[in-house]
Amino acid sequence: MDVRNLIENKVFSVSEFNNFVNDILTPLVVTIEGEISEWKVSRGNLVWFTLKDEKQSLKGFSLTYRIRMPVEVGMRVKVHGRPKIFGKSGSFVFDTEYLELSGEGSIQKSFLLLKARLEKEGLFAIERKRVLPRFPKTIGLITSEGAAAYTDFLKHLSARLGGLEIIFIPVAVQGKTTVREVVAAFDYFNRSKNRPDVVVLTRGGGSLEDLQYFNSEEIVRAVFGSASPVICAIGHERDVTLCELSADVRAATPTAAAQLAVADRQELLSELSNINTTCKLKLTKRLQTLKHQLNFSTQELLAQISEKTRGLRMVFEKIQAAFPQLVSHLELLQQRAKGLKIFLISLAPQNVLARGYSIVKKSGKILKDTQDIKIGDKLDIQFARGALTAGVEKITND
Amino acid sequence: MPKKEDKLDLGKTFEQLEKITTELSSQDLDLEAAIEKFERGLKLSEQLKTRLSEIENRIETIKLKFKDTLSEDSD
């Protein structure tokens, strides 16, 4: 009433009037549902559209980054924002901060359009999928706090393996903040010093409208661009969201996500037991082989020793057989030596003298020829026993 | 619960055990070394069993601050 009084006699300039109206209108944040009858993007980022119902229509405006899914004419949407007069053109426009698809037909159509585009871009390509680490130490968990998905995942994870570090980022999994929160969670992990070995994004089942956030391009790109490999488990098995297609691994349920994330301790224990058995078998086999080798070598050695002994024994036997012959030969030789000795002894000068011969010397030199003597020489004559000196009286040369 | 850096690395330990299993098949390995490896395998195996007996998982919750969508985007 007061305002009316204030403006009753006031003359506004156009700008003043537009600003005045906007001051009244812009605090009115509302949500409007209707069908898109016109959709145009200008200058790459300005979105102009018309929303209609059976009777009337409304001009709308937004920016491309605020629209999180493909929108086409004919789709039913809910727009969230505020009415506004755009001063320059003077048009009354609904300034849309947030747009969501409404009704299964629109959601499905938008889903297929985005899916085709992202698929073409290679975001779902099999060759881009990373292999999950077999033994992750740190697991990043993105889901809603206290939701069944959260409890199911953690319960099944603990049932499989302990001693893990779980970094949990609670996020909204439905409602308009979902996209922003999930993207921020991925961003946090990408920048974290303690980057998880694997990230699990999960939420339980819900209506198509509830799950549609996980079809948003931002989440699909956040999953695709995650520095850590991602497991996505959204909704039930029959619900396939785009973020699951861009994930490295898709799990049907939060429980399945836990099964894919970590190995089961029972399986690991059984694997361990197999490894131990294999090691024991290998060592036993090794020992048996060595035992056989040892037996073989011992026998070989014994055989060689026996062969060598046989050779020696043969030599010994030969010697033994030849010995009497050798002895008699030796005796013969001994006898021959004895005869020779007697003969040699008989040839000694003393023995010759004993047989009646004498040795005649002149000046100590033995004489063998009368030529060496003359009449009157003194000669020394040695007998077997005794000696004498005699003078030469006559020489006969025969 | 032991600190993270003290915790036995499941992946590396299993890898070591598998390596030992392969090495035990090698004829180049002398018996003394083979027995040594076998004993090392047994020790690793016991350590793994202890590690696998852990039940608890440590959960750290990180609450990110999200700005209100509308107020941030408004012009």
CB A69 within 8 A of CB A217: yes
B34–A163 C-beta distance less than 8 A: no
The 3-state DSSP class for residue B25 equals helix
Question: Would residue B63 count as lying in a domain?
Answer: yes
Q: Which domains does chain A have, with CATH numbers?
A: 2-102 (2.40.50.140), 117-266 (3.40.50.2300), 329-398 (no CATH)
**In residues, how long is chain A?**
398
Angle at A106 between CA A104 and CA A111, to 5 degrees: 90
Q: Cα separation of B39 and A279, whole Å? A: 10
Question: Would residue B35 count as lying in a domain?
Answer: yes
- Say whether pLDDT at A69 is over 50: yes
CA distance B59 to chain A (A): 5
> CB-based contact (8 Å) between B28 and chain A?
no
Task: Tell me which chain A residue has its CA closest to the CA of residue B20.
Answer: A279
CA distance B22 to chain A (A): 9
Tell whether the torsion through CA atoms of B47, A228, B65 and A244 is positive or negative. negative
- Say whether pLDDT at A285 is over 80: yes
Report ipTM for this prediction.
Answer: 0.79
Question: Would residue B33 count as lying in a domain?
Answer: yes
B11–A133 C-beta distance less than 8 A: yes
| Non-local CB neighbours of A20 within 8 Å, separated by 6+ positions | A7, A12
Question: Would residue B18 count as lying in a domain?
Answer: yes
A135–B10 C-beta distance less than 8 A: yes
Instruction: Specify whether the backbone of A102 is left (phi greater than 0), alpha (psi in -120 to 50) or beta.
Output: beta
- Which residues of A, range 78-137, sit inside 8 Å of B by Cβ? 80, 97-98, 133-135, 137
Q: How many Cα atoms within 13 Å fall on the side-chain side of residue A76? A: 11
The 3-state DSSP class for residue A130 equals coil
Give the tens place of pLDDT for each residue, B2-55: 444 567 888 999 999 999 988 888 877 788 888 898 899 999 999 999 988 888
> CB-based contact (8 Å) between A294 and chain B?
no
CB A67 within 8 A of CB A100: no
B66–A184 C-beta distance less than 8 A: yes
Reference A113, options A68, A152, A77; nearest CA is A68
Position A125 scores a pLDDT of 95
Reference A172, options A216, A124, A226, A111; nearest CA is A216
Question: Would residue B12 count as lying in a domain?
Answer: yes
Number of domains in chain B: 1
> CB-based contact (8 Å) between A278 and chain B?
yes
| Non-local CB neighbours of A224 within 8 Å, separated by 6+ positions | A123, A128, A246
What is the average pLDDT value for chain A, to the nearest integer?
Answer: 90
Question: Would residue B2 count as lying in a domain?
Answer: no
Position B6 scores a pLDDT of 67
Per CB-CB distance under 8 Å, the chain B contacts of A181 are 64, 66
Residue B59 domain boundaries: 7-73
Q: Cα separation of A229 and B37, whole Å? A: 35
Q: Which alpha helices (H) appear in A239-397, and where do they start and end? A: 242-246, 254-261, 265-346, 349-354
Strand order in the sheet with A365-366: A365-366, A359-362, A378-382, A387-391
Position B67 scores a pLDDT of 59
Strand order in the sheet with A230-234: A249-250, A230-234, A198-203, A138-143, A165-170, B58-61
Give the tens place of pLDDT for each residue, A304-323: 999 888 988 888 888 888 88
Q: Which residue has the higher pLDDT, B2 or A129?
A: A129
Q: Cα separation of A300 and A42, whole Å? A: 97
Structure tokens at B20: 């030992």
Q: Cα separation of A202 and A214, whole Å? A: 10
Question: Would residue B1 count as lying in a domain?
Answer: no
